[in-house]
């Protein structure tokens, strides 16, 4: 009987053991075979980490290599409140002066908590304390935490508390790599450079802060400036890397350095003179451009109001707008270069041809007026005096279809192609929308809207033998070793007019800065200047304003072999003599004189030669042209 009971017990134990072994075997099969892939992926996810390395953003430099924008390595200081626990007041007090933050604010950050899916409140694992901390300051913070003081004798503390203190000192405060974008010259060329912002995303074991351009060259050249991120793929156990398990270690590739055609020296001159013009004439806005006519290279581009690219968010949106490419207005008399050069190119007029310019002139039910009373003027004198009636009559001689064609040939109504965000087309109405009076209004700069850049490049085309160039703003890209990756060459868009027509137009434009012209104050002592003034009444919904104007002057020198073309546009100068010859022309002269000295441009004129030239301008032969029979 006893043996039977023992046998039954033995059988029961054997059955239980067999059942347990079967269950264990089933579990092993489940884990190792049926769910092997699932658990392998889970282990891989928890132990395998990819750390992303942020590349250094490339520099933006001027044509001579001067730094306009540069990135410096900095740190973003972070905290893991889980390791700080009840020491948050002491840690806040220790780090507050180093982080230049109020201790109370820092203490609040170190207590940040989060809620788990099951509803428990636990310390957050990641809290950002401060961005853009210099590396030297971070080293001070790290050392301060390593030396974190505790009043008690640590050797007598329990092992658990000693481990907690070690984690507090070594793991609670840490830093991520970051970059600080610096603009050493503050707002110099701000609208060309643009500005940057940052965006965050998860990357491997942490947060990656990526810098990207928002406007200007920072935006348009963002792909080259950003570089290529690197990474390190490795295994981590208990927050420690297993170096032997490191699979990939790829260094980040720094962004390319962008060299612009901008010359920081000329840019500074332009901005200083534009600031002086703002103080003197008090316009509501202004812009100025300096361009090399032969290549289309932009040497300077300035606008007012302006902003500091390092703190773009602190400026109003109105200050961020690049007015040279995004603001349009009726150009006024500067547009007369289009109709005159087109008529000369079509050989429908000659420079010495005379027109009756008596004011007023009635056409298509409307009266046209000049700002002064004129009698008979040659085509050259129409440019010299800026006669509206003369320009209108040349337009009639040319005809609507040909005038529209040349407006397009000079690039109006389309973007110039400058590599900046925000450029607009301007307004050139199709021929079918022209009224009968348009042929007389458009030659004097009405019924069209242009940007300062478009108008300046049209003038550059005349200075460049009739060749219209594409704006050149980026000179080249170089890598961090100074090797040229990409070089940009000047691009000709088209031959707008013939070289001969351009030469004749230049001849007429030289007279604008004479004592008889509208821009005597633009004349230079050592260079022959050719240019044109503009004083355009601002268009309103009901017509034209009687007291608000766009005043401008665009000129180039030396006139027969130009190095620079300079334009100045003032929006609503608040002075009695608001015309372009009295406001924009003096600003042109100051920019031209200072830029010529800075760039050491070879002179083509001496004061003595200028005196001789002025005296020969009124010889009987020169005066004879005005006595020819006028044309209607």
What domains sit in the chain, N to C, each tagged with a CATH number? 49-81+124-260 (3.90.1310.10), 264-598 (3.40.710.10)
Q: Using CA atoms, how far apart are residues 496 and 392, in angstroms rounded to an integer? A: 21
The pLDDT of residue 44 is: 54
Is the pLDDT at 213 greater than 90? The verdict is yes
pLDDT, tens digit, 9 for 90 and up, residues 509-561: 999 999 999 999 999 999 999 999 999 988 877 778 888 999 999 999 999 99
Instruction: Let me know if 61 is exposed, middle or buried by CB neighbors in 10 A (0-12, 13-18, 19+).
Output: buried
The pLDDT of residue 249 is: 61
* Residues written for the chain: 632
The pLDDT of residue 622 is: 40
Quick one: average pLDDT of 405-409? Answer: 98
**Where residue 626 falls among pLDDT bands split at 50, 70, 90?**
very low
Q: What is the 3-state secondary structure (H, E, C) of 243-309?
A: HHHCCEEECCECCCEEEECCCHHHHHHHHHHHHHHHHHHCCCEEEEEEEECCCCEEEEEEEECCCCH
Classify 65 in phi/psi space as left (phi over 0), alpha (psi -120 to 50) or beta.
left
pLDDT, tens digit, 9 for 90 and up, residues 358-388: 999 999 999 999 988 999 999 999 999 999 9
The pLDDT of residue 614 is: 46
Who contacts 370 (Cβ-Cβ below 8 Å, separation ≥6)? 357, 359, 385, 387, 388, 389
Who contacts 36 (Cβ-Cβ below 8 Å, separation ≥6)? none
**Where residue 621 falls among pLDDT bands split at 50, 70, 90?**
very low
Q: Using CA atoms, how far apart are residues 73 and 85, in angstroms rounded to an integer? A: 31
Who contacts 305 (Cβ-Cβ below 8 Å, separation ≥6)? 285, 316, 318, 319
Q: Which pTM value belongs to this model?
A: 0.84
Query: What 8-state DSSP symbol labels residue 471?
Result: P
Quick one: average pLDDT of 177-191? Answer: 94
The pLDDT of residue 207 is: 55
- End-to-end, the C-alpha distance of the chain in Å comes to 144
pLDDT, tens digit, 9 for 90 and up, residues 63-119: 999 999 999 999 989 888 888 888 888 899 999 999 999 999 998 888 877 777 777
Report yes or no: 489 and 476 within 8 Å, Cβ to Cβ: no
Selected residue with higher pLDDT from 297 and 29: 297
Quick one: average pLDDT of 8-14? Answer: 77
Is the pLDDT at 181 greater than 90? The verdict is yes
Phi, psi dihedrals of residue 352, rounded to the nearest 5°:
-95, 5
Q: Using CA atoms, how far apart are residues 272 and 590, in angstroms rounded to an integer? A: 10
Average pLDDT over the chain reads 87
């Amino acid at each position: 009987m006893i043996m039977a009971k023992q046998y039954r017990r033995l059988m029961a134990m054997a059955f239980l053991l067999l059942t347990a072994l079967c269950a264990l075997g089933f579990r092993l099969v489940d884990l190792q075979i049926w769910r092997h892939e699932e658990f392998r992926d889970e282990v891989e996810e928890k132990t395998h980490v990819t750390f992303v390395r942020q590349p250094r953003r490339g520099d933006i430099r001027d044509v001579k290599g001067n730094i306009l924008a540069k990135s410096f390595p900095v740190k973003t200081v972070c905290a893991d409140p889980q390791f700080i626990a009840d020491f948050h007041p002491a840690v806040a007090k220790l780090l507050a002066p180093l982080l230049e933050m109020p201790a109370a604010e820092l203490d609040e950050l170190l207590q940040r908590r989060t809620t788990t899916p099951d509803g428990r409140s636990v310390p957050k694992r990641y809290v950002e304390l401060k961005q853009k901390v210099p590396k030297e300051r971070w080293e001070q913070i790290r050392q301060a935490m390593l030396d974190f003081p505790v009043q008690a004798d640590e050797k007598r503390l329990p092992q658990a508390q000693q481990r907690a203190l070690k984690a507090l000192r070594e793991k609670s405060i840490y830093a991520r790599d970051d970059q600080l974008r610096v603009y050493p010259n503050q707002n110099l060329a701000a609208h060309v450079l643009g500005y940057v912002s940052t965006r965050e995303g998860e990357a491997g074991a942490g947060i990656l802060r990526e810098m990207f351009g928002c406007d200007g060259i920072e935006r348009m050249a963002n792909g080259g400036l950003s570089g290529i991120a690197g990474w390190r793929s490795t295994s981590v156990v208990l927050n420690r890397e297993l170096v032997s398990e490191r699979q990939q270690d790829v260094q980040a590739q720094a962004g390319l350095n962008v060299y612009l055609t901008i010359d920081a020296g000329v840019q500074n001159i332009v901005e200083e003179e534009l600031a002086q013009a703002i103080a003197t004439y008090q316009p509501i806005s202004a812009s100025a451009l300096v361009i090399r006519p032969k290549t289309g290279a932009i040497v300077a581009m300035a606008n007012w109001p302006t902003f500091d690219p390092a703190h773009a968010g602190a400026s109003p949106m109105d200050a961020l707008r690049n007015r040279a490419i995004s603001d349009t207005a009726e150009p006024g008399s500067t547009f007369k270069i289009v109709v005159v050069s087109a008529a000369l190119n079509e050989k429908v007029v000659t420079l010495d041809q005379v027109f009756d310019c008596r004011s007023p002139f009635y056409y298509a039910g409307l009266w046209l007026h000049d700002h002064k009373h004129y009698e008979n003027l040659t085509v050259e004198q129409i440019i010299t005096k800026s006669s509206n009636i003369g320009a209108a009559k040349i337009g009639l001689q040319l005809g609507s279809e040909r005038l529209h064609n040349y407006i397009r040939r000079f690039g109006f109504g389309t973007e110039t192609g400058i590599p900046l965000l925000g450029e607009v087309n301007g307004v050139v109405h199709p021929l079918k929308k022209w009224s009968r009076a348009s042929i007389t209004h458009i030659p004097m700069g009405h019924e069209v809207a242009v940007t300062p850049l478009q108008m300046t490049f049209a003038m550059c085309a005349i200075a460049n033998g009739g060749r219209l160039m594409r704006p050149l703003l980026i000179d080249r890209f170089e890598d961090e070793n100074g090797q040229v990756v990409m070089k940009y060459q000047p691009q000709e868009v088209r031959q707008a007019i013939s070289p001969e027509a351009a030469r004749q137009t230049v001849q007429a434009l030289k007279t604008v800065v004479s004592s008889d012209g509208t821009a005597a104050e633009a004349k230079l002592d050592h260079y022959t200047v050719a240019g044109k003034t503009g004083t355009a009444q601002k268009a309103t919904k009901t017509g034209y304003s009687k007291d608000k104007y766009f005043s401008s002057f665009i000129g180039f020198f030396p006139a027969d072999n130009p190095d620079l073309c300079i334009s100045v546009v003032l929006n609503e100068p608040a002075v009695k003599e608001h015309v372009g010859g009295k406001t924009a022309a003096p600003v042109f002269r100051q920019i031209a004189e200072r830029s010529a000295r800075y760039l050491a441009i070879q002179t083509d004129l001496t004061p003595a030669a200028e005196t001789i030239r002025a005296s020969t301008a009124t010889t009987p032969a020169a005066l004879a042209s005005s006595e020819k029979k006028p044309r209607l």
